[in-house]
Every structure is written in structure tokens, then in C-alpha cells.
Amino acid sequence: MTVMNFVYGFIILLAAFIFQTTITGFNRKVTARIQKRYGPRWYQQFLDIFKALRKSSITHGWIFDFGVIMALGGIMATVIFIPVAGFEAFPNMDNVYIISYLLAIGMLGMAMSAAGSGNPWASIGVSRALTNMLAYDIPLMIVIFTLIFAFDTASVSEIAAMQQGMGILGWNAIRMPLGGIVAFIALFGMLGKKPFDSFIAPAEIASGPMVEYGGKHLGFMFILHELMTFIEVSLILNLFFGGGSSILVYAIKYAILYTLVNIISQVMPRYKIDQAVKFFYRVPLVFAIIQGLVVIFLGWGVSVWF
């Protein structure tokens, strides 16, 4: 581990932020077009974030401030370990377990900070967010463990590399279609897109965890949200949709995947949180278990195209 690793890590961090924020801005335009509006400028998301950072801010106590910093720190640390088209800041450390544990720091920091604001809407939002996490995580984890079992590695970049060279047929989402469906649905839950956005519902619980954030705190939360989106989409892209052989391919696939999720979510209603849990435990969980059994006992999809 040299200084260069840290420089690369910083580059990934910066690139991830700029790239994802641009994509988000672009997707706000897509959303607007779906609703037959003209939509904001493509760099509106940057303006929003810098505007929020520019405003004054108020603290609701030590936990509130510390939670924001902890969440941002945890998420930034996670981004550094994400492999992008074979490029890794810290080689051989892009393990699924490392990423999921580091991601948990960020999530818990956010929950802590929101609960520290003392607002009841924030507590409701946090409890919904964690329930939602529990709902999508179990089917997704079963599918990811299936992948780890099938390919004998937990390294995200290696799993991504194994899918390349065969075009679309190499993707795990195609080789293991049920697992691919589960991952795609879980992505909606991870990103908090409709129909699984009950924890952020602006009209019902006043944007949930975000309710007491204003000014600079809110700006940090927006940055955090962009980075978290990058982690989640990257993870699914690498594990199930073949990553990318070059940065350009990766960026294009990433944009398509995220835009597709956004377009679908724009025409969805919203599940109540108990319905979301029921849905995840009824459909994706069953799919995930069937996929696991198929891979373990029949071996289909692991080497069928080799």
C-alpha cells in the first residue's frame, strides 16, 4: 500500500461524486420528460448541493453532528473499495464482505444522526429505512452468496471479470435469470426508489430521516446520497451485469441501469412499509432460494456456456 493507492482512492471518490451527480441531474430531466415537463438544467443537482453547503446550519446536539460525519466517512471509505472496470484503488480488497460492512457504518451513522435530531418523523423514517433494508437485504444476500459459492470468490472485480468476454450471455443476470431479477428488484429497495420509498415519503412523514436537516447538514446528506447511489448501482452492475471492460463501457452501462431504474420507478405507486416487506419475502426471497438451489444442486448457469 503506497501513497499512490490513496491518490487513486481520492480520484475514484471525486470521479464517483461528479459522475453520479451528473447522472442524477440527467435523470431529473428524464423524470421531467416522463411527466411532460421541460425539466431542470442538467447541472441542477450540483447547484442544489453547493447551495445547501452555502447556507447556515443548526445543530441538534452532538449525536446529530457526529452521525452526519460518521455516515459520510463510512460511505466515502466504501466508495474507495469499489472496483470500476477493473480499476481498483486498493487491489485485492474489493471483497463483498468489506463493502457490505463498511456500507453499514454509513447507514448506521445516518440512522444515529437522524434519531439524534429528536424529531418523531425522523424516528419513523429511520425505522422504516432499516425495515426496508432488512426486507431487500435477505433475498439479495442469498443471491450474492450463491454467486460466491458458484465462483469460489468473494471479490467483486473477479466476479465482474468472469462475466466478460461473452457479451450479454456472460452476465450473471442472464446466466442466473431469477437471481438477476432479485438483484434488479433489490436495487429499487437499495436506492429508495418507488415503490420502496416509504421511508422518505415527503408528504406523509415530511421526508423521514431528512426532516431536521437544513443548510450544510443537508448538503452533506445530498453528497452522501450520491455516493451511496454510486456504491449500490456499482455493486449490482459489477455482480450481475458484467461490470465493464473499459471505463467508457462501465459508465454507459451504469447510466443505462440507473436510468432504467428511474424510469420504472417513476410510474410506480408506493408500497406501505409492511407491504414492501411482504412483497420482498414473498416474491424475491422465493426466487432467490430457487436460484440458490438450482446453482448448488444442478450447477446451471455456472459453467453452462463455457
Partner 1 sequence: MVLENQDNRNLWEKIGDYFSANSIWMKWYCTGCGAIELPPTMTSRFDMERLGMGPMATPRQADVMLITGYLSTKTLRRVIYSYEQMQDPKYIVAFGSCTINGGVYYDSYATINQLDKYIPVDLYIAGCMPRPEAVMNAFADLISMIKKGQANGWRHYQENYEWYKKNQLDSLEEVIIHDEFHE
Which of 36/165 has CB closer to partner 1?
36
Q: How far is the CB of 249 from partner 1 (least distance, A)?
A: 32
Cis status, amide bond into 202, omega within 30 of 0: no
Q: Which of 96, 126, 95 is nearest to 108 (CA)?
A: 126
Q: How far is the CB of 245 from partner 1 (least distance, A)?
A: 37
In order of 54, 59, 102, 179, 218, the CA distances from 113 in angstroms are 21, 11, 17, 34, 12
Output phi, psi for 155, to 5 deg.
-80, 125
Which of 54/282 has CB closer to partner 1?
54
Which of 31/131 has CB closer to partner 1?
31
Which of 46/145 has CB closer to partner 1?
46
Q: How far is the CB of 117 from partner 1 (least distance, A)?
A: 9
Q: How far is the CB of 295 from partner 1 (least distance, A)?
A: 44
Residues within the interface to partner 1 (CB under 8 A): 28, 32, 35-41, 44, 47-48, 50-51, 54-58, 202-203, 206-207, 210-215, 218
- Tell me 87's DSSP state: B
Q: How far is the CB of 203 from partner 1 (least distance, A)?
A: 8
| Residues in CB range of 84: below 8 A, 6 or more apart | 12, 15, 234, 244, 247, 250
Which of 154/206 has CB closer to partner 1?
206
The HSE-up count of residue 169 (CA atoms within 13 Å, CB side) is 6
What does the alpha-carbon distance between residue 82 and residue 16 come to, in Å, rounded to a whole number? 10
DSSP labels, 16-48 = HHHHHHHHHHHHHHHHHHHTT-----TTHHHHH
Q: How far is the CB of 112 from partner 1 (least distance, A)?
A: 18
The HSE-up count of residue 189 (CA atoms within 13 Å, CB side) is 29
| Joined grid coordinates for residue 211 | 426532516
Q: How far is the CB of 12 from partner 1 (least distance, A)?
A: 26
What does the alpha-carbon distance between residue 306 and residue 301 come to, in Å, rounded to a whole number? 10
DSSP labels, 233-268 = HHHHHHHHS---SSHHHHHHHHHHHHHHHHHHHHT-
Which of 48/94 has CB closer to partner 1?
48
Which of 53/130 has CB closer to partner 1?
53
